[in-house]
Structure 1
């Protein structure tokens, strides 16, 4: 099927997921919605997160997307069950990678940096209970980080100082794995490498999400066999500069859309 894969996030963070999908599935076309006007989702109520997720889903369906990737941990944990129950297309969600962290840790102490909306969700709590038995999970809300990334302040001293503030208490608790529980956060990995001891594993969900997307497309015979006219369209309802800088490449179009 040559119809595009739809992807949405509360801003530019989900482009980290898009990149993994595009690398693994080069024949596929994609449409990406950056709802930067409403970023971050993590501080919003469950009802508001659901409303925004429905809005994004219906816009992607209008654009004939065959599968939708909810490239936002907060939207996944608060809305994906509703989306799967009410729409016919497959949905791929994103959850913090607690399971691989629990399998890799030797100190039995794992850190997770995520938004309030993710950490307080029932899906996150049930996942943690399922996979983290015997493991201590040290949770930290990454308040302010999404806003800094959306503002293009990725490598600023403000961002680095805020990360240090969040990471120091976890380092004192002897973590050896840090789970990135927001799709914006992989863009912080260069800074994290500067701050964290070399033995600490940084774990995000991007590659696993791409593999799951590939599996679901093939299982449902929905994958694109060739790519003669594939495209990558990105829409943002706010400033295009940051988004444009993150998705440069062939067949990429970045446009403003008031949604």
Structure 2
């Protein structure tokens, strides 16, 4: 595992793949766009389908049982409709709860997203790192395991912030985001014992890199680490040798509740030119 990409039982697809077969990205909202962007930098002409379960957003406030049942069912429908070569669960909450269920249900490679604790521990000098995610993600035993394996000599301070998820969605929708609001959403992590010593924080929700500039301004002394670049590299490895279109093709955005989709202009900044419902 590298940089927050969960490999598990992923496998390479046969290289005889239709060049138009897309990469499927799935999230509860727009957070997965922070994973899509670095993937586009590596695979510039890859066809893209970006799916958001806007009808059930935010996942951080859903029960684990609901997520474990809902995510594989939705991905099954998406795979049937769009025939992707690979699926990415671009959501930490969905990955930590439903990744194994999804892999059991689909016959294509599935890349998950997990907190980038290993690179954070490698970078930290104070040996105090913060894990900033949703409430559902930060309480997962998976986070305990990652901390024990890769940050055993660190103090790992967790904080679940649904407010940051909402702020990221607001930013993409074109609404102003106040630095004070971002600072208030993160401050409870800093206020925990030894929180003032945090020098690296793991953005353990794919929404949070969309607020990287605001968090850097609010907490200039704390470095940020997220899993997006590592996931992009993992996708490139799993699709090595496969054919792609010669030129970039319009990407598709899918929302389970179209009324909650961001403005078209915001989506077009990420190359998402078509809007579908599910």
Q: 1:144 to 1:113 in 2, by over 3 A?
A: same
Give the structure 2 partner of residue 165 of structure 1.
Answer: 187
Counting matched residue pairs gives: 254
Give the structure 2 partner of residue 41 of structure 1.
Answer: 59
1:58 aligns with 2:76: yes
Superposition deviation, residue 142 in structure 1: 0.9
Superposition deviation, residue 228 in structure 1: 4.3
Structure 2 segments unaligned to the other structure (5+ residues)? 1-16
Superposition deviation, residue 238 in structure 1: 3.5
Flag as ranges the 4+ runs of structure 1 deviating above 4 A: none
Tell me if structure 1 keeps the 8 A contact 2:43–2:236. yes
Tell me if structure 2 keeps the 8 A contact 1:28–1:224. no
Distance (Å, rounded) in 1 between the aligned partners of 2:269 and 2:210: 18
User: Scaled by the length of structure 1, what TM-score is found?
Assistant: 0.89
What does 1:70-219 align with in structure 2 at a 5 Å threshold? 70-151=89-170, 152=173, 153=175, 155-156=177-178, 159-169=181-191, 172-198=195-221, 200-218=222-240
1:173 aligned counterpart, secondary structure: helix
Structure 1 segments unaligned to the other structure (5+ residues)? none
User: Scaled by the length of structure 2, what TM-score is found?
Assistant: 0.83
Q: 1:246 to 1:20 in 2, by over 3 A?
A: farther
Superposition deviation, residue 255 in structure 1: 1.5
1:248 aligns with 2:268: yes
Distance (Å, rounded) in 2 between the aligned partners of 1:58 and 1:47: 17
Tell me if structure 2 keeps the 8 A contact 1:109–1:136. yes
- Any idea what the Cα deviations from partners look like across 1:18-38, whole Å, max 9, x if unmatched? 111112101210101111221
Q: 1:53 to 1:243 in 2, by over 3 A?
A: farther
Instruction: State the Cα RMSD in Å.
Output: 2.2
